[in-house]
Chains A and B, each alone.
Chain A
Amino acid sequence: MSYIATLPAPGALNPPSTPALTRRCDTTGLAICLAAEKFIKLNAVAAVVFLLLGGIAAILLALTRWQMVHLLRVDWFYRVLTFHGLNMLIFWILFFEVAVLYFACTVPLKSRLYSKKVAWVSFGMMLTGAVMVNTVILQGKADVLLTSYLPLLAHPAFYLGIILVAVGTLVGVFNFFATLYVAKRDRTYEGSMPLVTFGATAAAIIAVVTLLHGAIVMIPTFTYSMGWTAQPDPMWYRMIWWGLGHQSQQVNVCAMVSIWYLIANLSTGAKPVNETVCRGAFVLYILFINLASAHHLLVDPGVGSAWKIWNTSYAMYLAVLASMIHGFTVPAAVEIAMREKGYVKGLFGWVTSAPWRNPAFAGFVLSVLIFGFIGGITGVTLGTQQINIIAHNTLRITGHFHATVVGGTTLAFMALTYYVIPLFFRRDFIWRGVARAQPWLFGGGILLVSIGMSFAGSLGVPRRSHDIESAGIYGPAAHLFLGLMGVGAIIAVIGLLLFVVLCVGTILFGEKNAGRPMADWGTAKAMVGTRAGSLAEDHWAMKGTMALTGVFLACFAVYYFANWKALADVWPVR
């Protein structure tokens, strides 16, 4: 970092108040760095384009696996599956995360983005890489699925494209850290950074470790595909690849949880009950997430029980503990904020009076519920060393991560967009009624997808298979659940397309809101005679949250032990 210090300090030469470099937000009154705003917009737009591409692929896949429809030919099924995985899990999410990082390091810290040049380099590399990968896939030269497990081999441009995206993202992350450094040095803020920035920093730290794994595994694979080096060992490849593949999902978790806190704050004025607890939970993510690649190797040869058990629990499930903590502190923050505003009726009066007409709020709550109840519980259970025997590579796994990455992360990102567009593109949303329904359509659809996949997987239906009829063993129940997945996918993709239409339509035709606050989606209003902070000393005021988390823990325990019972019923094996 030493050479940064020798560069002129942007903040020092051009104080944040200089009109040409920042503008004052008409809604929040915060100073917005114009350079950051530009790259937030660019990355967010690119993200939504890749979301659309991935969404088109999604419906083609779901309508193929729904055996009654069975749409795609076999070669195109695996091609589109590869395309779907990369566009959704890598491109949509990474571009949006870079946008989130640029926001988190500038606006809350009243800082300016470290470098526009670096941001251009990052964006250019990522976009070039993504276009390369998509082109190679659609040309049929990389039918290797997201994981591209060796000895499967794709065209070298496929690996090179992924390397470009990864390095481009790393460059963006560098810009984030450089901005943090400059902000601290120039004292644009006093004391500790805000929680949202703290969460984004945790995400960025994990991203660095993740993307280094990506470089370690992708570079020798690329040189092998060029014929320059020998083939890397397939088991080594699996272990390092999942250091990229699974860990990157923890970047998503961190970004998503930061967004939960952000939307809770924007829509209900919620603030953390205890900053120490929330921040501590983010630190747990950083410290204990890096072994999550083990979850994909639990029934692999060559790695022993001790290694599997230790790494399954990341020492002692301390990253799961972090998620369970956020699962409490996020609703507790909303509950306390609502109760302080006077919504004190019963256990759940704060829930019924919440701003449900606000699509960002609705999307955020659905994201918390789907991520926690479905994604979290299934993830920990399927990732239990021995239970993985009855889950590995079945549709149960896909059912799990569509609840985490789609119902959780993607829905949270969508929810945030209902603020990003009015505040950064400065246009109010068109079709506000449709926007209010969108998170419910998308969330509801994904819920059905996830449930359909999970139950089909429990009946032994494999993931990543074009046709299950050749096995001749799957009965009506399996087909019913695949149909449920298909119906859910149709609903979710309608929600996704509406989201894209709403975003593009608003950016092009939405009413300009420069000079006035954005049109309010609905925020919780304080009743007369109430005071923010009145419950600060009441540590038992979040009664509704206690009830909800109690139900959560009970569901978790039932599902967990039911799976041990199911495992006990299969043949003894060791």
Chain B
Amino acid sequence: MSLALPDRDWYKAPAGAEKLWIGLALLWCFVMSVMMPFWHFRGKQNSRGEAYAVQPAAFLARTEQFVAANKVGERNGIPIAEPAPGGDAYLIGRMWAWYPVLKLRQGETYRLHLSSLDLQHGFSLQPLNMNFQVLPGYDHVLTLTPTSKGEFTIVCNEFCGIGHDKMIGKILVE
């Protein structure tokens, strides 16, 4: 029994149904292992973790510059910025807001720079349910192609203090 000492000659190769199951399980593990590199090359959704070191003050300055050059309106006091198709867009996460509101075009590809000025934040784009981590000191670049139109909401899904659940942002796609 499991509590008692095993037989002296307990070393035996698996046989029968046990051997079959180990084979099937190993095969399944192989399939799952191969799926990830397959998707990396053939799939369209990947998280490559492209990132560059950046000081919060420098990221703020870049974002302000981006907003000044691309401002197309305002929404609840937060500027709306529309980057050029194929261009760079900047999004700040800070306690407790996303800045600015972004306006994108369907079918165009953007390099979206995400960073935090204070704590860690979570970029959670709803209702698509796409989630990425936002860290201070890291300029996290997502190469993103909106394929659907409408108003999308950014929810913060990394705890960042008392106002965490009020940290809501917007991406508008036309």
Contact of A328 among B2, B18, B36 (CB under 8 A): B18
Contact of B128 among A272, A305, A571 (CB under 8 A): A571
Taken together as a complex, chains A and B put the C-alpha atoms of A297 and B171 apart, in Å, by 25
Q: Nearest chain-A residue to B30 (Cβ)?
A: A316
List A contacts of B74 (CB < 8 A): none
List B contacts of A542 (CB < 8 A): 17
The answer to whether A571 and B5 have CB atoms under 8 Å apart is no
User: Which A522-565 residues have C-beta < 8 A from chain B?
Assistant: 538-540, 542, 545-546, 549, 553, 556-557, 560, 564
The answer to whether A194 and B3 have CB atoms under 8 Å apart is yes
Interface size grouping (class) on chain B: 35 or more
The interface-forming segment of A248-256, A354-362, A455-463 is A455-463
The answer to whether B146 and A571 have CB atoms under 8 Å apart is yes
List A contacts of B127 (CB < 8 A): 459-460, 473
Provide the B80-105 mask, 1 if CB < 8 A to any CB of A, else 0: 00000000000000000000000000
The answer to whether A390 and B3 have CB atoms under 8 Å apart is no
The answer to whether B165 and A276 have CB atoms under 8 Å apart is no
The answer to whether B145 and A572 have CB atoms under 8 Å apart is yes
The answer to whether A269 and B118 have CB atoms under 8 Å apart is no
List A contacts of B32 (CB < 8 A): 313, 317, 320, 380, 384, 560
A305-B46, A573-B47 are contacts. A390–B2 as well, Cβ < 8 Å?
no
* Closest-CB distance, B87 to chain A (whole angstroms): 16
Interface size grouping (class) on chain A: 35 or more
The answer to whether B28 and A393 have CB atoms under 8 Å apart is no
List A contacts of B50 (CB < 8 A): 301
The answer to whether A299 and B47 have CB atoms under 8 Å apart is yes
List B contacts of A568 (CB < 8 A): 43-45
List A contacts of B29 (CB < 8 A): 313, 316-318, 320-321, 324
The answer to whether A78 and B129 have CB atoms under 8 Å apart is no
List A contacts of B70 (CB < 8 A): none
The answer to whether B126 and A473 have CB atoms under 8 Å apart is yes
Q: Is A46 an interface residue (CB 8 A)?
A: no
Contact of B47 among A389, A393, A394 (CB under 8 A): A389
Contact of B18 among A297, A329, A553 (CB under 8 A): A329
A299-B133, A467-B165, A564-B35 are contacts. A192–B6 as well, Cβ < 8 Å?
yes
The interface-forming segment of A144-152, A211-219, A409-417 is A144-152
List A contacts of B15 (CB < 8 A): 274, 539
Taken together as a complex, chains A and B put the C-alpha atoms of A281 and B36 apart, in Å, by 24
Taken together as a complex, chains A and B put the C-alpha atoms of A346 and B140 apart, in Å, by 58
Provide the B1-17 mask, 1 if CB < 8 A to any CB of A, else 0: 11111111011111111
A74-B162, A194-B5 are contacts. A308–B146 as well, Cβ < 8 Å?
no
Q: Is A385 an interface residue (CB 8 A)?
A: yes
Q: Is A56 an interface residue (CB 8 A)?
A: no
Q: Is A132 an interface residue (CB 8 A)?
A: no
The answer to whether A78 and B10 have CB atoms under 8 Å apart is no
User: Which A253-271 residues have C-beta < 8 A from chain B?
Assistant: 261-262, 264-266, 269-271
Taken together as a complex, chains A and B put the C-alpha atoms of A297 and B118 apart, in Å, by 19
Taken together as a complex, chains A and B put the C-alpha atoms of A308 and B114 apart, in Å, by 20
* Closest-CB distance, B36 to chain A (whole angstroms): 5
Contact of A546 among B2, B17, B161, B165 (CB under 8 A): B17
The answer to whether B2 and A271 have CB atoms under 8 Å apart is yes
Taken together as a complex, chains A and B put the C-alpha atoms of A276 and B18 apart, in Å, by 11
The answer to whether B35 and A304 have CB atoms under 8 Å apart is no
Taken together as a complex, chains A and B put the C-alpha atoms of A117 and B21 apart, in Å, by 46
Contact of B5 among A145, A192, A332 (CB under 8 A): A192
Q: Is B158 an interface residue (CB 8 A)?
A: yes
A305-B49, A386-B46 are contacts. A277–B28 as well, Cβ < 8 Å?
no
A193-B5, A195-B6, A272-B2 are contacts. A390–B168 as well, Cβ < 8 Å?
no
Q: Is A378 an interface residue (CB 8 A)?
A: no
The answer to whether A309 and B1 have CB atoms under 8 Å apart is no
List B contacts of A78 (CB < 8 A): 159, 162, 164
The answer to whether B18 and A332 have CB atoms under 8 Å apart is yes
The answer to whether A151 and B119 have CB atoms under 8 Å apart is yes
List B contacts of A316 (CB < 8 A): 29-30, 33
User: Which B42-92 residues have C-beta < 8 A from chain A?
Assistant: 43-51
The answer to whether A265 and B3 have CB atoms under 8 Å apart is yes
Given contacts A274-B18, A299-B132, A313-B33, 15 further A-B contacts (CB under 8 A): A74-B162, A78-B159, A193-B5, A194-B1, A275-B10, A305-B46, A305-B49, A460-B127, A462-B157, A465-B157, A470-B168, A471-B153, A473-B153, A549-B21, A573-B47
9 A-B residue pairs with CB within 8 Å: A74-B162, A75-B162, A145-B159, A276-B10, A276-B13, A321-B22, A394-B124, A394-B157, A464-B159
Closest 3 CB pairs of A and B: A539-B16, A301-B51, A301-B140
